[in-house]
Structures are given as structure tokens and as C-alpha cells.
Amino acid sequence: MGKNELLFRFLSPEECTPGLLCSFERFQRVTHCWRREGEHWVLKEAPFIDDWDAGEKREVISLFRSLTGRGGKVYGAFHQGVLIAFGALDAILFGSRRQYLQLVLLHVSRTLRNRGIGTEIFFQLARTAHGLGAQKLYISTQSSRRPRRFTKVWVVFMLRRSILNWLRPSPGISSWSMILRKRLVVRLQK
């Protein structure tokens, strides 16, 4: 399946119903996680399985409703009417100058990863955050190898293209702050 077979769009609050994620596969086998040891980040063996049961899927749907109810956005990719990937952006600006918005979630169903779907969702939500007045996008990832690699790949990609001009990992957690510059938005809209 290619991206041209998918429908990307924002979800309305009314669509955030219990059955929305019934086919979504969150499953991820984690073998290694990044841990802080002194001044350095070290990849350590830390095996576990990350998956969502029906209760956790209901919590995500509840979060969707909460976010959209206060002006946040949920952007998804659908294949034949089924949600197969999504990202969620909060609309509450925070920080000393109210310069941040948080990218709350970004997930792609297990069998459809590594096809650029999450990347497309990320960039749409970055443009949306800028439109909502954010100067920076706050991202917090799980400390396992895969999400950190995704974040690092995009940080390097953006730095090499002079799109991103500020980056700071927070101590002890895998968080990144990114400035959303007008040239980023203009470039992405081409």
C-alpha cells in the first residue's frame, strides 16, 4: 500500500468513538533503551513489549476527545475507512513566553510503519502548531531505540536543511524542542 492510497485528514470530536482504534496495532517489541549514565547516553538492554489493550485504546480515544474539545488537533491517515496512523497536538500554549505546543502522540499501526506515513503526519501537525501560534514544538518520546531514532533522523534532516535552528534534549528524558520558523512552514507547503 502506498501513501496515495491513504486519506489524510483531521478528525472531528464526533469521530472519536470507542471503535475508532479497534483495528489499530500499537505492538512494538523493545529490546534496548537509552539510559543516562553520568554525562553520556548509553543504549542498554531493557526488553519489554509495548502494546495497547482495549482499555488503553479507550484512554487514547478519551485523550482525543479532550484535546479536540479544547482546540487541539488529531490528524490521521485512513485506509479504506480505517484509522491506521495518527498524531495529536495540544492547543494549550506553554513556556515562559507561551512559545510551545506539545505533540502529544504520534503512532503508526504495526504493519504500516517505515512508509513515510508518520513523517507526513508529523509535518502536518508542525504546520498546524505554527498556525496556532507556536514557535516551538515540544516532543517527548519513549526512551527505546526506535522512537529516538525517528526523532533523531528528523532532527538531523532538518538541521542539514537549515529548517531547524534550535534543539535541546532535556536532561534525563527523551524530549526535544523545535523552533517552527516561517521558512519551515513555507517550505513544507510547496
- The DSSP letter of residue 112 is G
122-151 confidence digits (pLDDT tens):
889 988 998 998 888 887 766 665 554 444
22-44 confidence digits (pLDDT tens):
999 887 787 777 777 888 777 78
pLDDT at 180: 47
Query: pTM to 2 decimals?
Result: 0.75
Q: Which three cell numbers stand for residue 143?
A: 526512551
Q: What is the mean pLDDT of the segment spanning 5-21?
A: 94
Domains of the chain: 3-189 (3.40.630.30)
Task: Tell me the C-alpha distance between 60 and 66, whole Å.
Answer: 10
- Strand partners for 75: 10, 87
Report the 3 state secondary structure along 2-14: CHHHCEEEECCHH
pLDDT at 142: 62
Q: CA-CA distances (angstroms) from residue 67 to 47, 51, 176, 184?
A: 32, 22, 21, 25
Q: CA-CA distances (angstroms) from residue 52 to 27, 28, 82, 145?
A: 7, 10, 17, 19
- Say whether pLDDT at 62 is over 80: yes
67-89 confidence digits (pLDDT tens):
999 999 999 999 999 999 999 99
**β-strands 40-50, 175-179: how paired?**
unpaired
